[in-house]
Structure 1
Amino acid sequence: MIRLGGGPLERIVAVGAHCDDLAIGAGGTLLTACRARPGLRVDALVLSGGGGEREQEERAALAAFCPDAELRLTVLKLPDGRVPAYWEEAKTAVEELRGRTEPDLVLAPRTEDAHQDHRCLARLMPSAFRDHLLLGYEIVKWDGDLGRPTAYQPLSPGIAEEKVRLLQEHYPSQRHRPWYDREAFLGLARIRGIECHARYAEAFHVTKLTLNLGD
Structure 2
Amino acid sequence: MIALTTGSLTEIAVLGAHCDDIAIGMGATLLTLARKHSGLRVRALVLTGAGTVREDEERAALAAFCPNADLRVTVLDLPDGRAPAHWDRIKQALATFRASTEPDLVFAPQRADAHQDHRLLAELVPTEFRDHLVLGYEILKWETDTPTPTVFVPISTEFADEKARLLQKHYPSQVGRDWFDEQSFTGLSRLRGVQCRDRHAEAFVVDKVVVDLGLS
**Counterpart residue number, 2:142:** 142
Whole-Å Cα distance in 2 between the matches of residues 53 and 141 of structure 1? 21
**Counterpart residue number, 1:27:** 27
Task: Count how many residue pairs are aligned between Structure 1 and Structure 2.
Answer: 215
Matches within 5 A, 1:106-185: 106-185=106-185
Matches within 5 A, 1:68-87: 68-87=68-87
Shift of 1:102: 1.0
SS state at 1:179 partner: coil
Q: Alpha-carbon deviations, 1:135-185, whole Å to 9, x = none?
A: 000011111001210000111010001000100000000001011011110
Whole-Å Cα distance in 2 between the matches of residues 41 and 70 of structure 1? 5
Cα contact 2:8–2:37 (8 A) shared by 1: no
Q: Alpha-carbon deviations, 1:45-64, whole Å to 9, x = none?
A: 00001111000000000000
Matches within 5 A, 1:58-97: 58-97=58-97
The letter of the residue matching 1:208 is K
Whole-Å Cα distance in 2 between the matches of residues 147 and 165 of structure 1? 24
Shift of 1:7: 2.2
The runs of 5 or more residues in structure 1 that have no matched partner are: none
The letter of the residue matching 1:38 is S
The letter of the residue matching 1:200 is H
Answering whether residue 45 of structure 2 is matched by residue 45 of structure 1, we say: yes
The letter of the residue matching 1:28 is A
The letter of the residue matching 2:154 is P
SS state at 2:14 partner: strand
SS state at 1:176 partner: coil
The letter of the residue matching 2:25 is G
**Counterpart residue number, 2:9:** 9
Q: Alpha-carbon deviations, 1:65-120, whole Å to 9, x = none?
A: 00100001000000000011111111111111110111100000000101000000
The runs of 5 or more residues in structure 2 that have no matched partner are: none
Shift of 1:6: 1.2
Whole-Å Cα distance in 1 between the matches of residues 2 and 146 of structure 2? 22
Whole-Å Cα distance in 1 between the matches of residues 73 and 140 of structure 2? 24
The letter of the residue matching 2:60 is A
The letter of the residue matching 2:205 is H
Identity %: 60
SS state at 1:211 partner: coil
**Counterpart residue number, 1:200:** 200
TM-score normalised by L of structure 1? 0.98
